[in-house]
Amino acid sequence: MPGTYIPSDYLPVAIIIIFAALVGLGAVVAGILVRPRRPYAQKLYAYESGNPPVGEPRQKFSVKFYIIAMLFVVFDVEAVFLYPWAVAYDKLGIFGFVEMMLFIFILLIGYVYVWKKGAFEWE
């Protein structure tokens, strides 16, 4: 239950996260404190010596990106399932082998389907 266990192995990770946050914040804060600040209109322009910007930078993405990302997530999850299976493989024996093959087989059919449908192609 919560409140009884401390993952002490992860102390270095916590330290590095805090350290990284401090470095990032420190750079910004130090910059604010040290740098001279004399803004004028020309300087605040998006591209100081380039063309004036036309329209919004954010544009509609094509739905193609979504399909690729979605398929990535699915096969990513499949890979995640493989990991504990591989570690416990010795203990699971032929039983574990068969069930994982079943799992992979089903997703393999999905892969064949996606491939044949041309979802990997950049139409």
Partner 1 sequence: MTTPQLFFAYFAVAMTVLSLLVVTRRSPVHSIMWMLVLFIHIAALYLFLNAEFLAAIQIIVYAGAILVLFLFVIMMLNLKKEETAKKYQAQWPVSAGIAIILAAFLVLILGKIVVLPSLGEYSIEAVKTEGIMMTTGKVLYTEFLLPFEIASIVLLVAIIGAVVLAKKRIE
Partner 2 sequence: MEMEATISLLDMRLLVPELTLICVGLILMLLDLVVRKKELIAAVGIAGTLVAMYGTYKLYGFYNPQAAFAGMFVVDGYSNFFKLIFYLNIILTICISLKYMAIEKASFGEYYALLMFSSTGMMIMASAADLIILYLGLELMALSTYILAGFMRNQPRSNEAALKYFFLGAFSSAFLLYGISLTYGLTGTTNLKGIAEALSTLSIMDNPITYLGLIFIIVAFGFKIALVPFHMWAPDVYEGSPTSITAFMSVGPKAAGFAVLGRVLFDAFAGMQVQWAAILVPIAVLTMATGSIIALAQTNIKRMLAYSSIAHAGYMLLGIIAGTHDGLTSTVNYLMIYLFMNIGAFAIVIMLRREGVQGENLDDYMGLSKSHPLASALMLIFMFSLAGIPPTAGFVGKFYVFMEAINAGYVYMALIAVVFSAISAFFYLRVVMYMYMKDPVKEVELTTSPSMSIALAVTAMMVLIFGIFPSILLNLVRLSILG
- Residue 13 in the binding site for partner 2 (CB under 8 A): no
Tokens of 109: 């059919």
What is the 8-class DSSP label of residue 120? T
Is the Cβ–Cβ distance between 107 and 78 less than 8 Å? yes
CB of 107 to partner 1, least distance (A): 6
Q: Which is nearer to partner 1, 8 or 42 (CB)?
A: 8
Q: Which is nearer to partner 1, 25 or 69 (CB)?
A: 69
φ, ψ for residue 29, nearest 5 deg: -65, -45
- Residue 106 in the binding site for partner 1 (CB under 8 A): yes
- Residue 5 in the binding site for partner 1 (CB under 8 A): yes
- Please tell me the distance from the alpha carbon of residue 53 to that of residue 60, in angstroms, as a whole number: 18
Positive or negative, the CA dihedral 62, 65, 66, 68 is positive
| Helix spans in 88-119 (H) | 89-117
Which residues lie below 8 Å from residue 114, measured CB to CB, with a gap of 6+? 71, 120
Among 17, 89, 99, 120, binds partner 2 (CB under 8 A): 99
State the residues that interact with partner 2 by CB under 8 A: 90-93, 95, 98-99, 106, 109, 112-113, 116-117
Contact positions vs partner 1 (CB under 8 A): 1-7, 10, 56, 58-67, 69-74, 76-78, 80-81, 83-89, 91-92, 95-96, 99-100, 102-103, 106-107, 109-110, 113-114, 117-119, 123
